[in-house]
Amino acid sequence: MELSYILNELGEEREKYFNAVSPPIIQTSNFSFKKVDDFRKAFEDEASAFIYSRGNNPTVKILAQKLAALDGAEDALVFNSGASAIFAAVFANVKSGDHIVSVDKPYSWAQKLFNDILPRFNVTTTYVDGREIENFKNAIEPNTTIIYLETPNSWNFYLQDLKEVSKLAKEKNLLTICDNSYCSPLYQKPIEYGIDMVLQSATKYINGHSDVVAGVLCGTKKMMTKIFNSEYMNMGIGATPFNAWLMIRGLRTIKIRLEKISDTTLKIVNYLKQHEKIESVVFPFDVDFPQYKLAKQQMSGACGLISFTIKANTIEQVEKFCESLQHILMAVSWGGHESLIIPGCASIKKNEFDPSNPDHRKMRMYIGLEEADYLIEDLEKAFFKSY
Ligand SMILES: *Cc1c(COP(=O)(O)O)cnc(C)c1O
């Protein structure tokens, strides 16, 4: 299906709402019926009906159709956060006694689920360095049911070979789930490589304007219906009509946003790489990235999220650099219009700072929609001021 069709038309039935170009926000909790027979039919299959907005809602449905098509999936569910998409995808597919093989250091709330919540239900997780397929092979136990991936990882940018992992999973009859937040479906389509379920934080590139928290999970119709009828309805974790409407609006421009960000990201990476106060820069589409070949092979683009390590001897120098930035904001999240930075030293105690540990001097940076020169000047001034 053509991208322009998905973003501009798919799922929209304009003749039903006065030929309005922008779809309505169907802000309703419930839907009424004229015939008992129709009501009964809806109850029999709530996943295909409009009964109550904790389940299906027409505005959310428009978005879900677009998101499924972007991933090349049969169906999609839209959640009120990426974290709840992770929770539902995993929770729906484990029972007491099961074992999960997860890539090392997945998103923090995936770790929380694997480390703290699932063990209470006798479900255990083994983490592996996902850069080598052997590590997955060695970690699989007779009771393993899921392989959980995140490629590229949003902190260390390590990749997993989607084709190899899905081949292994199919041999062993395991379910594969991949967090695709880094690339978005525009730049990586895990389902085409045989991955069963793909999720992402729609807070990031899908919405793209830093004003919505949401998530999406894609997979087969059968799997999405199963999750709809259990975790989705039971926990009431679906996206609201208003947020879905904002995401439909965000999607209209996703292609040009990502192109612009890709262009700027390369300029920032090249600027940082030649800088005397920079020790290293990590970005999957940089020729010096260790998994560059695989990145080019399975991703059609990379953008926005990078990390760099600055040279510094004291935590004060690192803090001065961050606090001297005038335009790049210090904040979590990414994928919006605004450039952001998170210093690694924000997650340690001040007196734990060790200048010989590069992680303490590391910055995760997100490049937004500002002009490259504007961002480079901001970085340059901050380097100059800090030491
Ligand atoms: C942000 C993020 C999530 C979680 O999404 P929320 O919308 O914040 O709940 C999951 N995975 C990755 C890689 C993320 O960056």
Identity (one letter) of the amino acid at 169? A
CATH number of 45's domain: 3.40.640.10
Are 187 and 303 contacting, i.e. CB atoms less than 8 angstroms apart?
A: yes
**Res 255: pLDDT:** 98
Q: Say yes or no: 117 and 206 in one domain.
A: yes
Contacts of 264 (CB under 8 A, 6+ apart): 367, 369, 370, 371, 372, 375
Q: Say yes or no: 220 and 322 in one domain.
A: no
Are 384 and 376 contacting, i.e. CB atoms less than 8 angstroms apart?
A: no
Among 151, 79, 88, smallest CA distance to 117 is for: 88
Three-state secondary-structure class, residue 262: helix
Are 228 and 77 contacting, i.e. CB atoms less than 8 angstroms apart?
A: yes
Residue 204 CA, ligand 1 centroid: distance in Å: 8
Strand partners, 100: 125, 146
Q: Which of 251, 279, 314 is the last residue of a domain?
A: 251
- Distance between CA atoms of residues 31 and 46, nearest Å: 12
Q: Say yes or no: 9 and 132 in one domain.
A: yes
- Select from 108, 109, 217, 305 the residue to mutate for testing ligand 1; criterion: most ligand atoms less than 8 Å from CB: 109
Q: Say yes or no: 98 and 174 in one domain.
A: yes
pLDDT tens for 153-165 read: 999 999 999 999 9
pLDDT band at 30 (very low <50, low <70, confident <90, very high): very high
**Res 224: pLDDT:** 98
Nearest-CA residue for atom 4 of ligand 1? 82
Cα separations (Å) of 161 from 155, 167, 276? 17, 10, 34
- Distance between CA atoms of residues 296 and 241, nearest Å: 37
Strand partners, 125: 100
State yes or no: pLDDT of 25 exceeds 80: yes
Strand partners, 76: 218
pLDDT band at 386 (very low <50, low <70, confident <90, very high): confident
**Domains identified in the chain, total number:** 2
Nearest-CA residue for atom 7 of ligand 1? 82
Give backbone dihedrals phi and psi of 215, rounded to 5 degrees, phi first. Answer: -145, 165
Q: Say yes or no: 247 and 260 in one domain.
A: no
Q: Say yes or no: 195 and 285 in one domain.
A: no
Q: Which of 230, 251, 272 is the last residue of a domain?
A: 251
Residue 287 CA, ligand 1 centroid: distance in Å: 27
Among 261, 191, 186, smallest CA distance to 223 is for: 191
**Res 385: pLDDT:** 85
Contacts of 382 (CB under 8 A, 6+ apart): 321, 322, 324, 325, 326
Q: What is the mean pLDDT of the chain?
A: 97
Q: Say yes or no: 246 and 263 in one domain.
A: no
Q: Which residues of 266-290 are buried (b: 16+ CB within 10 A; e: fewer)?
A: bebbebbeebebbeebbbbbbeebe
Residue 275 CA, ligand 1 centroid: distance in Å: 31
CATH number of 275's domain: 3.90.1150.10
Q: Say yes or no: 293 and 374 in one domain.
A: yes
Structure tokens belonging to residue 67:
């998101």
Q: Which of 223, 251, 279 is the last residue of a domain?
A: 251
- Distance between CA atoms of residues 83 and 61, nearest Å: 20
| DSSP symbols for 104-146 | SS--HHHHHIIIIIGGGGT-EEEEE-TT-HHHHHHH--TTEEE
**Res 53: pLDDT:** 98
**Res 96: pLDDT:** 98
Q: Say yes or no: 307 and 207 in one domain.
A: no
Structure tokens belonging to residue 284:
């999957």
State yes or no: pLDDT of 43 exceeds 90: yes
pLDDT tens for 229-268 read: 999 999 999 999 999 999 999 999 999 999 999 999 999 9
Residue 338 CA, ligand 1 centroid: distance in Å: 17
pLDDT band at 132 (very low <50, low <70, confident <90, very high): very high
pLDDT tens for 323-335 read: 999 999 999 999 9
State yes or no: pLDDT of 387 exceeds 90: no
Which atom of ligand 1 approaches the CA of 214 most closely?
7
Residue 110 CA, ligand 1 centroid: distance in Å: 9
Q: Say yes or no: 218 and 353 in one domain.
A: no
pLDDT tens for 175-219 read: 999 999 999 999 999 999 999 999 999 999 999 999 999 999 999
Whole-angstrom Cα Rg for the chain: 22
Nearest-CA residue for atom 2 of ligand 1? 201
Tokens 């304009």 -> residue:
14
- Distance between CA atoms of residues 181 and 296, nearest Å: 17
Q: Say yes or no: 134 and 159 in one domain.
A: yes
Q: Which helix (H) or strand (E) holds 163?
A: helix 162-171
Cα separations (Å) of 243 from 38, 124, 213, 269? 29, 34, 8, 33
Residue 222 CA, ligand 1 centroid: distance in Å: 25
Q: Say yes or no: 156 and 284 in one domain.
A: no
State the helix-helix crossing angle for 241-252 and 254-273, rounded to 10 degrees.
70
Are 103 and 125 contacting, i.e. CB atoms less than 8 angstroms apart?
A: no
Question: Measuring from each residue's beta carbon to the nearest atom of ligand 1, which residues come in under 6 Å?
Answer: 81-83, 107, 150, 154, 179, 181, 201, 203, 213, 215
Between β-strands 75-79 and 124-128, what pairing exists: parallel, antiparallel or unpaired? unpaired
**Res 144: pLDDT:** 98
Range of the domain at 67: 3-251
pTM: 0.97
